[in-house]
Amino acid sequence: HGTAVEFQSFGLDITDQITAENEREVLLHNLSDAQRIAHVGSWDWDIITNQETWSDELFRIFGRDPQLGVPPVSEYESQYHPDDLERVREALNWQTGADKFTIEFRITRHDDQAQRFLLMRGELLHDDDKRTIHFFGIIMDITNQKNSEAALRESRRELETLIGNLPGMAYRCDNDENWTMRYTSQGCQDLTGYAPGDFIENRIISYNEIIHPDDRDLIKLKVKQALEKKQPFELTYRIN
């Protein structure tokens, strides 16, 4: 047996490679955190390989386990609200749909069966030969926004009902020469003989035109004085 008296080796400086990989990991982690905070998930479909990928937040939005991978189409389609299913299918049909789309739809989460409102934006990507190669997009959970909008509509409905049952007319107007109306209640019809919409932005007639000419200047003076003193006011005047 011989004795080794010499050996050779070589080394490579891979500092830049390691640094780049670490930076990539940080960027991916930051992106994941940003999606989680904003409740925005992303998806990507490689049409050539038929490979679909979801971000971690998209799994959370659909109530699914990322460890199990992207579920079959039939499984996550079963989560779509029946009334929205066909619209979503049409939007996601890359062969017949638009290159870009935005759609709102509802799902039932897989884990807790909660209904969620989602907004999806998608876009097709083509290669130099105009072939469609990728379909990608984002999905945002807009449930809180939808619930707030529904609550606001209900509050407005209740307010309209309350104001509609008050005697006289409730209104909101600009402090200008015409008292340009921005809102008038249903009591406008009984009080003035005009439909509520007739006064809005002076569409048919301005409110100033129905005030008795002898009362117009006094009204303007009283309102000006009250506004300068930041005080409530009460006026008695005639309308035609």
**Segment 226-239, tens digit of pLDDT:** 999 999 999 999 99
pLDDT at 38: 55
Strand 100-108 relative to strand 51-54, pairing: unpaired
Please give the angle made by the CA atoms of 66, 67 and 72, to the nearest 5 degrees.
65
**How far is it, in rounded angstroms, from Cα 168 to Cα 219?**
18
Burial 110-130 (b: 16+ CB within 10 A, else e): beeeeebbbbbebebeeeeee
Tokens 């029946």 found at = 82
127-149 per-position pLDDT tens digit: 888 888 888 999 999 999 999 99
Percent of the chain with pLDDT over 90: 61
Where does residue 216 rank: exposed (0-12), middle (13-18), buried (19+ CB within 10 A)? middle
Max CA-CA distance within the chain?
Answer: 127
Overall average pLDDT of the 111-119 stretch: 95
**Other Cβ atoms within 10 Å of 192 Cβ, number:** 18
Hey, what are 133's tokens? 């190669």
144-159 per-position pLDDT tens digit: 999 999 999 999 888 8
